[in-house]
C-alpha cells in the first residue's frame, strides 16, 4: 500500500503544478489585455495632443502674419 500512496501524492503534486501553471497563464493573458488597453488609450491621448499642437501652431502663424502686417504699416 505505501507504493500506492506515493503514486497518489506524486499525482497530486503534478496536478497542483499544472493547475498553478494554467492559473498563471490566465493572469498573464489578463495583464496583456490590460496593457493593450492602456496602449490604446495612450495612443488616443497622444493623437489628441498632436492635433491640439497643430491648432496652436496654426494660430501662432496667423498671429505672426498679423504682427508682420502691422509692422509694415
pLDDT at 2: 65
Half-sphere exposure in the Cβ direction for 4 (13 Å, CA): 1
User: What distance in Å separates the CA atoms of residue 22 and residue 25, rounded to the nearest whole number?
Assistant: 5
Q: Is the pLDDT of residue 1 over 60?
A: no
pLDDT at 11: 95
Q: Is the pLDDT of residue 25 over 90?
A: yes
Half-sphere exposure in the Cβ direction for 56 (13 Å, CA): 6
Q: How many residues does the chain have?
A: 73
Closest by CA to 27, choosing from 37, 15, 39, 19, is 19
Q: What is the pLDDT of residues 27-67, one digit of tens each?
A: 999 999 999 999 999 999 999 999 999 999 999 999 999 98
Amino acid at each position: 500500500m505505501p507504493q500506492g500512496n506515493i503514486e497518489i501524492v506524486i499525482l497530486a503534486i503534478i496536478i497542483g503544478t499544472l493547475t498553478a501553471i494554467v492559473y498563471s497563464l490566465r493572469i498573464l493573458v489578463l495583464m496583456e489585455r490590460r496593457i493593450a488597453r492602456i496602449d490604446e488609450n495612450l495612443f488616443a491621448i497622444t493623437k489628441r495632443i498632436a492635433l491640439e499642437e497643430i491648432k496652436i501652431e496654426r494660430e501662432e502663424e496667423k498671429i505672426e502674419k498679423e504682427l508682420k502686417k502691422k509692422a509694415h504699416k
